Structure 1
């Protein structure tokens, strides 16, 4: 409700005053609301179970929504920056009423401060803190609008609103680029933040019975669901009949190591003999005709 009032007042203010700074702040608020709505919808979609068509479910819908919102915000900031430069280079400076700009900026600031107070009393979760940072950015935009209004009223300098819009753009661009970078990293199946793949490899090699680790992949299905897959080459003497060193035991210990040391609850591990690993690494791609005597090792998960 508070956000809706701030949005409506900002839209009216931008239309009445022709203020570029109000328009830039409005674009930021619109994308924030879109991000909130997208997060709610994506959370509902993520609860849907996996299907034959989408075996991981819809966990990445939130990431896709964040990427779309970031691109929309980037488009708004680029448009505002171009418009600001055009106004600075124009022969006739723009006329923006300082008092009206001050009123609409104050309405936006009060609304954002109320929202910030509400969020500060929340659970303190990552989502709440992220929302609070968005609202804080909106509040800083409102402050920039009010400063521009004060300069207009006190000095009559006609470019104060344009400069304020560029300040808001400078606030938004780093956050937008950071969000785009994060979403791109997830969509490109990058390593989870703070996780070292070589440490994961070392942990798997420390599992008794594991001789070699290859084809190790660690990625994120969504920003909260890391996953891993790897091929584990076991020692020559490791057989299913050897208690404590068998294939199933190696698999269980490796999965436990990933889960306990790195929080990788979703892992897919394949156990291989040295002969199979050599065959896999050095043989060319197999022909269409399947060789009868090719060794085959079943995949275990």
Structure 2
């Protein structure tokens, strides 16, 4: 397998594209956080949105860090390289997503139980007093635009490079713009006298975030425990892993085939003697996904587990 640094040449351009998207994310979302903080006021939805936007920076940061480590080649201390850096980053990103959902749910439920009545006052700008809610709505509307664009741009890149961190970040971007829309609904609710609208809007979006986060955490833990390769958007076996397993069985017979995921790569092991001619990754997975097969090993005498 031809490598570009520690990244296969077949996906090097897409990985660099992913990095650019994450740098854009850090810049745009930092501006969103600043704008939201300036007009936050006493709104529960606004406070939750600011915290959520801050936490949304975590997946972007850990993606950039994991790619930096992944480019490093094997050494005496890490003879298999740093492929699992992506797996660790995935766990951190999934945890950040769950933290966002949990925080939003806690704050919203607490507000509803205490029956807090948020108020949005006025502010004087250029000699004119205006309702602060209009500025909040404008800031929330601005906070919706970058996540929608960036999230849609990240999805196809994550699919091509099989990167669950980038995919989780796209989910975080989805949470960002949904939180923005929910916040707008909450501010409008406050304006017409519905004190519960603000917290209810935040609670509604938190449940969706928690659902996505739990699924991501299940995948992250399975990956770190050498589980079979999972799909990007579910805990089911990935299609390319299914195809690889079927191809190996067709070539070597009805033998035990084990697949595990290390970051974006797959390691395969077959319980049979090595063949005279070892098949290439392209033969087993096709030219487009040959980079994904990191290793193929054989175990002619499987070790039996103790009863």
What TM-score do you get using the length of structure 2 for normalisation?
A: 0.69
Q: Structure 1 unaligned runs (5+)?
A: 235-246, 286-301
The counterpart of 1:97, out of the listed 97, 110, 120, is: 120
After TM superposition, the score normalised by the length of structure 1 is 0.70
Alignment of 1:29 with 2:53, yes or no, is yes
Q: Which residue of 2 aligns with 1:297?
A: none
* Cα distance per residue 1:132-155 (max 9 Å; x no partner): 55434312211111111112112x
The match for 1:204 among 242, 248, 261 is: 248
| Unmatched segments (≥5 aa) in structure 2 | 1-26, 122-130, 231-237
2:72/2:82 contact within 8 Å kept: yes
User: What is the Cα-based RMSD across aligned positions, in Å?
Assistant: 3.5
Q: Tell me the alpha carbon deviations over residues 225-260 of structure 1, each in whole angstroms, 9 at most, x when there is no partner.
A: 1111123148xxxxxxxxxxxx423xx248665344
Which one of 42, 64, 68 corresponds to residue 88 of structure 2?
64
Kindly indicate whether the alpha-carbon contact (under 8 Å) linking 1:25 and 1:168 is maintained by their aligned counterparts in 2.
no
The counterpart of 2:295, out of the listed 246, 261, 267, is 267
Higher relative contact order (CA 8 A, sep 6+): 2
1:240 corresponds to: none
**Alignment counterpart, residue 54 of structure 1, candidates 78, 86, 100:** 78
What SS class does the counterpart of residue 262 from structure 2 fall into? strand
2:185 match = 147
Residues 87-236 of structure 1 mapped to structure 2, 5 A cutoff: 87-90=111-114, 93-97=116-120, 99-114=131-146, 116-117=148-149, 124-126=156-158, 134-154=172-192, 156-193=193-230, 194-195=238-239, 200=244, 203-207=247-251, 210=252, 213-214=255-256, 216-222=257-263, 224-233=264-273
**SS at 1:159 equivalent:** helix
User: How many residues end up aligned between the 2 structures?
Assistant: 257
Report SS of the residue matched to 1:228: strand
CA distance in 2, matches of 1:49, 1:68: 23
The alpha carbon displacement at 1:31 in A equals 2.2
- The alpha carbon displacement at 1:163 in A equals 0.8
Give the SS at the match of 1:206: helix
CA pair 231-107 structure 1, distance change in 2 beyond 3 A: same
